[in-house]
Amino acid sequence: MVKILIIGLDGLDPDLVERWRMCWFKQRFYGRHYVGLIKDLYTPILWSCFLTGLNVEEHGYSLSELKEKRASDAFRSKLLCKLYLLRKRIIPIKKLGLRKLLIKFGLVDPYPGSIMPEHLLRKTFLEELKARGYSVVAIEVPGYNESRNEYYRVKIDELVTASFRERSKLVEEALEDTSERVDRAIEYVASGYDVIFVYSPLPDVAFHMAVEPNLSIRAWLRSIHHSLYKVVKELLDIAKENKYAVLIVSDHGFDLKNYYHSNYGFWSLNIEPPSWWSIHSILDFKDNILKLTEVIG
């Protein structure tokens, strides 16, 4: 098999890649995939669909089910979680202030990850490849093993009315975080892992922090894309040296007119894909990636 490196870039938009001439992300072959078949274009749900090849909203992981599970997973004690859920059933009042108090005392994680239920985790191509004996690593992948990404989702909501200076600080923080994740991925490439999946919350964080951008803010957005590319370039270079197939992929794009996630994501490969390679929607990646590990060698 050819070893595979997957770089997930949240919100990388196929139209903007063309319009802003961001050829850095195109690699040798590139395209777009449809995500509009998913009701809620929410990042952890979309990446869960990418990983499983299923519309997870129809398999026990809708947005409401995700939020309920994430709230439960936030508790550091199973007993405390059961008591909290019991309280919700008996006293269904949302704002009693208990959660903030529990966070203050360190009993609840303020930024819990969104992790799929076990029955869906088993259906991810990562788990299937592990079961086949491949060495697999995932770095902060939404829906699978994230622990840091919820921080950005919460901060995006908190900073929506803040000054641009404050909002841009979150983007710089995400760039630094991405750099750390990339450094970890480089180590795994050097160690020869079979499949490596590293995720960045950019450029999506930057889009949300732009808040209906004017021309100068759009120029800033493009510069953030280029900064992101410079962060991942060393990883791309070392992957090429070690003969990895590299898939750059996004969960959705970003519509600057409607100012929300768009119905199409972007993908690119550094190798010529086999004749059977066919990507129409986000649900097609799992089977194609599994076939890639089996056929190419």
pLDDT per position as a tens digit, 35-51: 999 999 999 999 999 99
Report if residue 171 sits inside a domain. Answer: yes
Predicted local confidence at residue 74, as pLDDT:
81
Only one residue has tokens 């799992």, namely: 286
Helix H or strand E segment including 185: helix 164-191
- Summarised one tens digit per residue, pLDDT across range 246-272 is 999 999 999 998 889 999 999 999 999
What's the rounded mean pLDDT across residues 16-24?
A: 97
Neighbours of 179 (CB within 10 A): 16
44 in a domain, yes or no? yes
**Contact assessment for residue 7 and residue 248, using Cβ atoms and an 8 Å cutoff:** yes
Domain-embedded: residue 67: no
Confidence of residue 205 (pLDDT cuts 50, 70, 90): very high
Give residue 245's domain range.
4-56+113-295
Whole-angstrom distance, CA of residue 235 vs CA of residue 224:
18
Predicted TM-score (pTM) of this structure: 0.92
In a domain, 105, yes or no: no
Please report the pLDDT score of residue 213 as a whole number. Answer: 76
Within a domain: residue 37?
yes
Number of domains in the chain: 1
Instruction: List, in sequence order, the alpha helices (H) in the chain.
Output: 14-19, 43-52, 63-73, 78-90, 98-104, 118-121, 125-131, 149-158, 164-191, 204-210, 215-241, 285-295
The type of residue at 229 is: Y
Query: For residue 175, is it within any domain?
Result: yes
In-domain check, residue 83? no
CATH number of the domain encompassing residue 143 = 3.40.720.10
| Contact yes or no for 255/240 (Cβ under 8 A) | no
